[in-house]
Amino acid sequence: MWDGRATDLIVAISLREMKLRLAERDGYFGGYVSCGSAAIRDHDSMFKRITKYGLAWLLLIASIAGCSHAPEPSGEPARKPSRTAKKLPSSKSPAPGSPRTKRTGVPERSDPREDPPAIPESPGAAPADPPAEAPEQEPEPKPRRSLGDLLSRPADSAARWIPELPRMQVDDARAAAGGIRKLSGKRLTLYTDMPPAKAVDQLPEVFDRAFVQWCEYFRVDPAQHPDWSMTGFLMKEKARFQQTGLLPGDLPSFKNGYARNYTLWLYDQPSDYYRRHLMLHEGTHGFMNTILGACGPPWYMEGIAELLATHRWGDGRLRLNHFPTGREEVPYWGRIRIIKDAMAENRGKRLVGVIEYSASAHLETEPYAWCWAAAALLDGHPRYRDRFRQLAESVRQGDFTERFYRLMHDDWDQLCEEWQLLVSTLEYGHDVAATAVDFTPGEPLPPDGASVTIAAKGGWQDSRLRLEAGVEYGFTATGRYQVDDQPQIWWCEPGGVSIRYYRGRPLGILLAAIRPDQPDPSGLCGLLRPAVLGLRASLKPKQTGTLYLKINDSAAELSDNAGELKVEIKMNDE
Ligand SMILES: [Zn+2]
């Protein structure tokens, strides 16, 4: 469905060139910088050659085989070459002598509740094959499977509306006799064998509130869908549902949940949060298939479902599209943990690698995390949000992803840099909007120097100054600003606070980075190679480019900062 088969040869060739170009810049990337400015892992040229020629061969083989889809993992080849990279001291580094740390500076302990369930079936689920004596009904015909089916079928939902599939009818009396009770809401009728509990019984209410927000997000008028509702099955014991005909045999096997037209199926999950999350995820697929007609290609389908399923619920209020502020808020969700672990293992995924995920990728959990991160960036970033939301109008179009590339064409390279910055510094509570980067190129430094004001609240800030490679510049920074407000205001100067650390450096210390005039699109974003300035420093850039400045703080901890600092920059005398 999403093979993107181009009818026009020229379009096909240019698309392949584009994909090759994108893929070339897009293997995996990993742990990036060490402390200080110089210890960077650059993309080595051998790696680029391997990526380039490997992809060229794959494309050739794919075209011989008649497959018009670029080989799935434009980002995959980089998994293989081994590289000697210096690892970034992570936020796990304890603050030396720190009596207390900022939230993100707290050494992270592995918390099993952060791990998304990766079980083939839910706990307590019956074996896949029902007991021989159990079914009284006719055995369901087993769906025919081919390798093509497995590779093209989304793992947890139909990807579009299935016409001529009759709506599932439930015999309430038979269900009740089988130990399955009915929970009724306006937008969801949920059948479950779970015992009564507040977190279960309120699921239809959560779903009702979600419907309003789905309508708002996708610009759908709820008045046009007064009777829209789905039927759901929340299963603790799979066999009960099989025996009562509520888990049809023509459904593909699924790990956690599945949605098809107006019906969704869920296995119970190990936390109240993750059970709701799964319902909202499948509900998003159901909403899109029944109202928009389709979910789009895998990266978008799963990215949007994860974006809108990630939520906050309490006191009868629901907020979809919530960026979790802490792992305790989202037990068993684990998307941020998955990305942080992958980054620590040098398995950072390039954006194009996420965009090119095939449907079968989502048989694993990790792609859900990368798709969520891509959607969270595109939807949370002020420069991309409108374009990203506009895509929802194209979910039924076979060239959806090409439309996406066209929409992002003019600032694609910057988007890839923002992606690298996000996934390299991702935190619970990451403020995507506050860390958005202005990519305006700098002007040459005036002969008598310049002064720049930097806000403590921001991420990398464009000085609008262009520094020359090989020239030594002197920096002097002054100012007093706030880096925390709990339990009292923490004041800081450009030298940082030496008893609290973030990423191995004093919290609040002034950092600088040069974004080259001609960034290597296959390389590491220049802003991931910061140098420490502090109160006073000299810097001789290796590449000519625009100077960026920020204070050292987590992207999740900017909202409690206030004030600014002044940085004087001049050319040092020879
Ligand atoms: Zn899904």
pLDDT at 23 over 70: no
CA of 259 to the centre of ligand 1 (A): 8
Architecture of domain 172-425: Orthogonal Bundle (1.10)
Task: Take residue 28 and report the two structure tokens written for it.
Answer: 């995996």
Read off the pLDDT of residues 190-242 as tens digits, 9 standing for 90 and up: 999 999 999 999 999 999 999 999 999 999 999 999 999 999 999 999 999 99
CA distance 207 to 491: 45
Question: Is 310:322 a contact under the CB 8 Å cutoff?
Answer: yes
CA distance 263 to 339: 31
Q: What is the DSSP string of 93-108?
A: SPPTT-SS--GGGSPP
CA of 125 to the centre of ligand 1 (A): 20
Read off the pLDDT of residues 522-545 as tens digits, 9 standing for 90 and up: 889 999 999 999 999 999 999 999
CA of 364 to the centre of ligand 1 (A): 11
Question: What average pLDDT does the chain have?
Answer: 79
Read off the pLDDT of residues 433-480 as tens digits, 9 standing for 90 and up: 999 999 999 999 999 999 999 999 999 999 999 999 999 999 999 999
Question: Is 141:249 a contact under the CB 8 Å cutoff?
Answer: yes
Exposed, middle or buried by CB within 10 Å (0-12, 13-18, 19+), for 568?
middle
Architecture of domain 443-571: Sandwich (2.60)
For residue 513, what are the β-bridge partners?
Answer: 548
What are φ and ψ of residue 236, in 5° steps?
A: -95, -45
CA of 242 to the centre of ligand 1 (A): 22
CA of 300 to the centre of ligand 1 (A): 10
CA of 157 to the centre of ligand 1 (A): 6
Strands 230-235 and 263-267: parallel
CA of 292 to the centre of ligand 1 (A): 16
Question: Is 329:356 a contact under the CB 8 Å cutoff?
Answer: no
At position 27, the amino acid (one-letter code) is: G
Q: Which pLDDT value is given to residue 152?
A: 53
Question: Is 68:459 a contact under the CB 8 Å cutoff?
Answer: no
CA of 154 to the centre of ligand 1 (A): 8
Exposed, middle or buried by CB within 10 Å (0-12, 13-18, 19+), for 422?
buried
Q: Which pLDDT value is given to residue 499?
A: 81
Taking the domains of the chain in order of start, what are their residue ranges? Answer: 4-63, 172-425, 443-571
Read off the pLDDT of residues 423-440 as tens digits, 9 standing for 90 and up: 999 999 999 999 999 999
DSSP helix/strand/coil, 110:
coil
Q: Is the pTM of this model over 0.75?
A: yes
Task: Take residue 551 and report the two structure tokens written for it.
Answer: 């204070």
